[in-house]
Structure 1
Amino acid sequence: MIDLHVHTAISDSSLSISEVVRLAKDKGISHLAITDHDTTKGLQEAIKVGYEIGINIVPGIEISAYDYQRDKRAHILGLYIEPGHPSLNMLCAPLVQRRKQASYEMFRKIKAAGYDISWVDVQKYEGGTGVYKQHIMHALLDKGYCGSIYDDLYKRLFQRGNTPKTQGIAYIQLEYIDARAAILAVREAGGIAILAHPGQLNNYDAIDEWVELGLGGIEVFHPSHQEDDRQKSMLYAQKHKLVITGGSDFHGFYGDKPIELGCHELGEECIDELLQRIKR
């Protein structure tokens, strides 16, 4: 079994790199892609732990991108990228910094609304690239303000919306990375650019264009995908000869629903195809 979409505490998972890799070993996973948001930090550690316990680590990244032509979010996975490649670092570093600033502003809004948490309460959960909304929610959970990370309080605080009335009281819009630039950066870093969960963000109408830029794969199997999403994604994969990938999008305790590691629909033939594409 493989899993080509997994997060660690480096970004927004509740489990450390070592914990995630060792859990994958327990689940019988042979190939695991670490795809933390907008960073390759921690990949060398993951590769080392994987080597020690007998799991092949696929070095990856998930870039928080935006399709500015169609005004919608898009997530681009990079698989078999070179950790620390300058193209990825230069592209993602400004977003990481913007997220850090936005997270602190969100915290201040929540504090001003009367919630008794401190920045220290929040920071103790961040694992390397700054605070995420999940870390703020974890601190609120500790204080008894909610029963889970994604209960009604999450929506009241962070819900996206087109107007201030429909947005959460702490919502701040982030400026994301252009999806086209993300695809190019993944290619420059020696990897294969994969469109993550296109059904979740409705990115199908951009695929024809992005293939011309070098999009090499599509995530057909994802927990958010229903059968119609899988079928539609498969059709685009066949049309453009894209690598079919899949993963759990694992976030540990910070997931919006319980998710187990592993993608049962795919086997090591997917890894073989990815490696063949890289050689070409």
Structure 2
Amino acid sequence: MKTELHCHTNISDCPLSIEQVLDLALEQKISYLAITNHDTTKGLREAAERGLKYGIEVIPGIEISAFDFTRGRRVHILGYFIEPGHHAIEKLCQPLVEKRHRASEEMVHRLNQGGYTITWERCLELAQGGTGVYKQHIMHALKEANYTDSIYGPLYKKLFNRGQNGEKPGIAFIPMEYVDAKAAVAAVCQAGGVPVLAHPGQYGNFDMVPDLFEAGLQGIEVWHPLHDEKHEEEARRLAIKHSLIMTGGSDFHGEYGEQPVELGSKCPGIETLAALHARRALIKKKRNIGV
């Protein structure tokens, strides 16, 4: 019996549909699957209903693209057992979803000016059924046009380079204005969910844990494909210090992932799911009594 707590579908930046992801989950003998698409709860009710037919419990989740404005770093906040369509999530995330989509259109325009012959229409087709076009869809179109043989690789780094450390930004780089990480934690709690810090080793977010804990953080992702032993050790230390739930997940994106990963490969164990359920009940109780 496996638990997968970090997984994406074609509603955000994975090419596979809910049905295809459920098929994979069935193959991998996954019994509990959290779908955590970026900045949206679209499709979660449908996924839960379809999961029942597979004998898989789909946990309604989200991964919010946030920012630590004090330290100038990106931060991703996972939310588990959230209410799909909750106003707190929609108010926080919908503007971000729209900005990302508009930025992607401008990226394609800049690429066209730079001599790359792909179309915005094709990017829209690749993103059909989701919340908008991501850089991965643009790279997919470039791959189809034989400019590259991979989604992530030299061309991706060249086009979307942020221009740090004295480097010149890539021609398709457009800075995004993300939401405040503490506001993301609060929104997950308001939506009845359990907020967890995603892959802190990837973005160097360990320093922010005390601030996020004060804002209501309930867990930290220890096991992740981009975490090494030092990352796991630091995440465990902080989890113990702040009484945070230790979670993990494959962060599955299919072909659009930064590296090949198997769904269910970072299973945190059924006890983690039980801990999330218990913490969810505690959050709900506090909300009801106005704490």
Indicate whether the TM-score tops 0.5. yes
Q: What residue in structure 2 maps to residue 141 of structure 1?
A: 143
Query: Any idea what the Cα deviations from partners look like across 1:88-146, whole Å, max 9, x if unmatched?
Result: 00100110111011000000000111111111121111032100000011111111110
Residue in 2 that maps onto 1:119: 120
Partner of 2:7: 6
Match of 2:202 in 1: 200
Q: Helix, strand or coil for the counterpart of 2:33?
A: strand
Among 239, 245, 250, the residue aligned to 2:252: 250
Q: Aligned equivalents of 1:210 and 1:147: distance in 2? A: 39
State the partner residue of 1:70. 71
Aligned to 1:217: 219
State the partner residue of 1:174. Answer: 176
Amino acid at match of 2:8: H
The aligned residue for residue 50 of structure 1 is 51
Judge conservation of contact 1:246–1:263 (CA < 8 Å) in 2: no
Out of 141, 155, 159, the residue aligned to residue 161 of structure 2 is: 159
Deviation at 1:212, TM superposition (A): 1.1
Structure 1 unpaired stretches of 5+: none
Deviation of 1:27 (Å): 0.4
Contact 2:223 2:266 in 1 (8 A): no
Partners of 1:173 and 1:133 in 2: CA distance: 12
The residue that corresponds to 2:81 in the other structure is 80
Q: C-alpha distance in 2, partners of 1:265/1:18?
A: 21
Name the count of aligned residue pairs.
Answer: 280
Q: Distance in 2 between matches of 1:254 and 1:109?
A: 22
Q: 1:66 to 1:85 in 2, by over 3 A?
A: same
Q: Who is 2:286 aligned against? A: none
Change in CA separation of 1:93 and 1:264 when aligned onto 2, cut-off 3 Å: closer
Aligned to 1:59, the other structure's residue is in SS state strand
Counterpart-to-counterpart distance in 1, 2:27 and 2:116: 39
Deviates more, 1:153-162 or 1:239-248: 153-162
CA distance in 1, matches of 2:53, 2:78: 26
| Inter-partner Cα distance in structure 1 for 2:229 and 2:249 | 15
**Distance in 2 (alpha carbons) for counterparts of 1:260 and 1:160:** 29
The CA deviation at 1:164 is: 8.3
1:6 aligned counterpart, secondary structure: coil
CA–CA separation in structure 2 for the residues paired with 1:232 and 1:163: 26
Equivalent AA in structure 1 for residue 15 of structure 2: S
Change (3 A) 1:265 1:101: closer
1:27-42 equivalences under 5 Å are: 27-42=28-43
Q: Distance in 1 between matches of 2:249 and 2:175?
A: 27
Report the TM-score when normalising by structure 2. Answer: 0.94
- Structure 2: 5+ residue runs without aligned partners? 283-291
Q: Counterpart of 1:160 in structure 2: which amino acid?
A: R
Taking the aligned partners of 2:147 and 2:117, their CA distance within structure 1 comes to 9
* Structure 1 stretch displaced more, 5-14 or 112-121: 112-121
* Aligned residues of 1:2 and 1:263 also touching (Cα < 8 A): no
Q: Secondary structure at the match of 2:6?
A: strand
Q: Percent identity?
A: 52
